[in-house]
Structure 1
Amino acid sequence: MPRLPAGTNAGRLSRVLSRVLSRVLSRTCALTLACCLAGAGLAACGGNTTTLDGATPASGASDASPASGATPANPASGASPAAPASDSGGGAVDPLKTTVDGIVQPFATAQELPSIIVAVSRGGTRHYFTYGQDVSAPISADTLVEIGSITKTFTTALFAEALSDGTMTRSATTQAYFPEAALSRCAAEVNLIEMADFRSGLASDPISVSFSDPTPSDIDHWPVSKFVAWFAGYKSKVPPNESCGLPATYHYSNASVGLLGLAIARGYGQEWDALVAERITTALGMSDTVPFVSDAQRPRFATGHSDKGAAVPHWPRFAWFAAGTLKSTPADMLRYGEAALGHLSVDGRPVPAALRDAFAVAQTPLYRPIGDSFHQAMAWVTQPVDTSAPDGALLAYKDGGTNGFNSVIITDSSHDTAVFVVTNQVNTGIQRIGLEVARALAASSN
């Protein structure tokens, strides 16, 4: 702002400008109004709302850059730059922040969560809101977290691509993909779509998964060969003249999507990790979405917590890794959400048409489980945006949980909105909060 002119009207002009500035400048600038009147720029008056240690404050932050903008270059260290934390509205009420605060702040306080972040993309503009008790280590846009079963949606996107390019077919059975195993009759009859939509009849996990288990179940101790051998005996005692009951009724299964990932890898003749990188994460610029955290990324990898608030080890890699091995960041998950919404580009990178089509196929409802209010797609679940209009527009979502993290990704194509919520504490019921945020945002834009 230019300096005030000298003369008898200077005082009156100063008072007028002060009243205007009080409406448009941020609260941080209010304490230094004198410096602004004297000619200092907004930056000198504290326009960026960040804590002294650089963490995004609990009041929330917005990234005003649209998704079509250029992606900043990664630092030489390999760490991704944090999303800019900016004041949302220069002191004016931010309806988006108010909506999210009203839902998430009471939830975070009641559960005494270490940290929780709500990442929102609306029309390609991204916003991040952080809450929680651990102000020294809040989850920010570029913090790595375990996304658990959201990994399944990466696997079903690959499966949908394989269906489209003819590498696989919906009705193909598993026998062709596991020739080394002597599959039981019922195991051989399970088809690929039944693995993708939880109608294979398989148990949730092949064995008990617990850090306290005296027999470790991570891939170093319980390899893929044992996993396939376990599947080979599926319903092995069913008499030859009796039906295997396929497709089975809905039963959520990590094992089924883990086996699907192995089948996809064998169908393409590439490792699952490589397929995810080649066809999804590299294409979308998701450099922080990885099966293994690098040394350069490790300082940004959040610590998970039990439901009692105790720090826990990071989740190991299981033989059914295609169902839950990935780590990501809120910023990357919004890139993923925008691609799943059907955006033509993400951060200036064209989204491959095959991937856009794959997301559309994977999110298409296939059936409604008996007694449930949702429809099941390929790993994704769908529900109405407006619960009073069951035949209206749909939300597609998938939640994830590990021993120390709880997360959910939601897409609402009718409002061009993606929501990702994650906390570094287990068993929080975060799916409900994510859906509540998505529905509130939809209602506010109608």
Structure 2
Amino acid sequence: MPRTFIALPALLTTLAFTAAAQADDTLQSLVDANVRPVMAEYDIAGMAVAITLNGQAHYFNYGVARLDDPQAVTSDTLFEIGSLSKPLTATLAALAQATGKLTLIDSAGQHWPELRGSPLEHASLLALGTYTAGGLPLQFPDKVTDPASMLAYYRQWQPEHIAGTQRRYSNPSIGLLGLLAAKSMGQPFPTLMEGTLFPALGMSHSYIQVPSAQMPRYAFGYSKDNQPLRVTPGMLDAEAYGVKTNAKDMLRFVQANLSPTGLSPDLQRAIVMTHSGYYRVGEMTQGLGWERYPYPISLERLQAGNAPAMALESQPATRLLPPELEPGDSLFNKTGSTGGFGAYAVFVPSQNLGLVLLANKNYPNAARIKAAHAILSALDQHSSTP
């Protein structure tokens, strides 16, 4: 019988494809094992998962985008990401500083003269972006429904704490940062996000207002009893929780944070600003939008840092002067929710590893973090195995 010879390059290529296929199967099994039980427990219609591992993107999609028309979730499905919008708002504000439009030590009154004479006149933009201006609440009162009532609210607001001593997580706080950044740049906030920041980051299908041509890709969110929901308009909703995006774009944002070298110099500087630590809050370091922890970190510590108390209660804060640059081993994360959606993004620069979870149900932060932590831990152990 004649011998069959395989050329060495062809053999190496075959082996590489086989190894890649096996790695993909392993990764799929890992994600399945941690995502499918969460979907079952919380009756989640659909989820999109995206992982970046050593610069390579991997996508895993589950369920349907809407229950009345069982269209499968894909990596192009649009989800509301709620407060996961905040790191994007912070990046725009940092870009405004990088391009000389403002500085984070500017006062709010410098960029919105109508605030002069109010306690917020002297609040720094940094304080607004780190929720340390003195106790602005989680949400605006119900009576704040238009720009005039919003300005009236800001003018009459009285601080509960000395600025810089307490962190109180707040949409009106970081939302005001976004508004003032847009004022400094001379364009409306949605225009700057959709026309400047998203394109600069390579986020080609991310929106504040989903255009009609993209509505078929826009998932419905669902309440606990599976009633369809989408986010309702509110003051500074765009700035605080208004981004709609897909798994591909959110992973691009995570990859830009992991390795910003391909971006413009101004945007690279902006991302470094969002990573810097400005306040220590318990075991968490508050950046701009992002929240940072030493890595590795236990599941319990990461869940505690994202527990309801961190969003609903004031927490003692210690100013870091000068701001703490990113240490070698750090984990960055941010959760986000609207009435019908739940999102989570986490990345570890030292491991070149990041993860995005998007779901069309608002399920508990603890469950998101448990799934993400298990996936990241397994991938980290695998990558460090000789």
TM bucket normalised to smaller: 0.7 to 0.9
> Higher helix share goes to which structure?
2
For residue 377 of structure 1, what is the aligned residue in structure 2?
287
For residue 397 of structure 1, what is the aligned residue in structure 2?
333
State which of 285, 295, 300 in structure 1 corresponds to 2:212.
295
Task: Spell out the pairing of 1:363-374 with structure 2 (5 A cutoff).
Answer: 363-369=275-281, 372-374=282-284
State which of 122, 125, 129 in structure 2 corresponds to 1:192.
125
User: Counterpart of 1:296 in 2: which secondary structure?
Assistant: helix
Deviations 1:121-165 (A, max 9, x none): 122221111234769333210001111111111111122122233
For residue 324 of structure 2, what is the aligned residue in structure 1?
none
Return the alpha-carbon distance in structure 2 between the equivalents of residues 361 and 439 of structure 1: 27
Deviations 1:352-406 (A, max 9, x none): 121122112102222221xx33221112101233127x98611111111001100
For residue 120 of structure 1, what is the aligned residue in structure 2?
51
Larger Rg: 1
Residue 169 of structure 2 corresponds to residue 229 of structure 1: no
For residue 36 of structure 1, what is the aligned residue in structure 2?
none
Residue 116 of structure 2 corresponds to residue 170 of structure 1: no
Q: TM-score scaled by structure 2?
A: 0.80
User: Counterpart of 2:163 in 1: which secondary structure?
Assistant: coil
Task: State the Cα distance separating 1:342 from its structure 2 match.
Answer: 2.2
User: Counterpart of 1:299 in 2: which secondary structure?
Assistant: helix
Q: TM-score scaled by structure 1?
A: 0.70
User: Counterpart of 1:367 in 2: which secondary structure?
Assistant: strand
State which of 97, 104, 121 in structure 1 corresponds to 2:28.
97
Task: Spell out the pairing of 1:8-407 with structure 2 (5 A cutoff).
Answer: 94-132=25-63, 136-181=70-115, 183-184=117-118, 186-200=119-133, 201-208=135-142, 222-235=145-158, 245-312=162-229, 314-320=230-236, 321-345=238-262, 351-369=263-281, 372-387=282-297, 393-407=329-343
Q: Is the 8 A contact 2:61 2:75 kept in 1?
A: no
Task: State the Cα distance separating 1:416 from its structure 2 match.
Answer: 1.5
Task: State the Cα distance separating 1:258 from its structure 2 match.
Answer: 0.9
User: Counterpart of 1:368 in 2: which secondary structure?
Assistant: strand
> Higher strand share goes to which structure?
2
Q: Is the 8 A contact 1:115 1:424 kept in 2?
A: yes
Counterpart amino acid of 2:130?
D
User: Counterpart of 2:232 in 1: which secondary structure?
Assistant: coil
For residue 312 of structure 2, what is the aligned residue in structure 1?
none
Return the alpha-carbon distance in structure 2 between the equivalents of residues 163 and 92 of structure 1: 42
Residue 363 of structure 2 corresponds to residue 427 of structure 1: yes
Task: State the Cα distance separating 1:108 from its structure 2 match.
Answer: 1.9
Show structure 1 runs of 4+ deviating over 4 A: 86-93, 132-135
Counterpart amino acid of 1:376?
Q
Percent identity of equivalent pairs: 27
Return the alpha-carbon distance in structure 2 between the equivalents of residues 183 and 438 of structure 1: 49
Return the alpha-carbon distance in structure 2 between the equivalents of residues 324 and 88 of structure 1: 41
Return the alpha-carbon distance in structure 1 between the equivalents of residues 218 and 18 of structure 2: 26
